[in-house]
Structure 1
């Protein structure tokens, strides 16, 4: 992070305030937001299915979740 200096062919210094690291960090944060939103959506769907009477075994088969993971989602 920080400032990065590079020397262009003409010999002048250019200051680059953001390097690849900060772009990667921003992308990582964006992906984390997407993952969080997807998990919240899945948790809502699991709760809704449970309230509608769908059995835990059926939810586990359809979602690929373990019983512990399913319970954790239901408690969110």
Structure 2
């Protein structure tokens, strides 16, 4: 991962989120009560939209970094 590369971390986060959802779905076989439902509602379900929003923001930030790098590179060529 190079300096300023946010995509690698985003990919890792997306994979970890999917892995968590997959593992969580298996817990219902062993844990199926109100506490599980509460935990799911309060902690697991909000993660999906939060990760999606974070990935979108990080992609936008990556675009800004890339544009800044291009702008600085162009400025160096002018000097």
The structure with the largest alpha-carbon Rg is 1
TM over 0.5: no
Per the shorter chain, which TM-score range?
0.3 to 0.5
| TM-score calculated relative to the size of structure 2 | 0.43
Q: Which has the higher helix share?
A: 2
Q: TM-score, normalised by structure 1?
A: 0.44
Larger RCO, structure (CA 8 Å, separation 6 or more): 2
* Higher strand residue share: 1
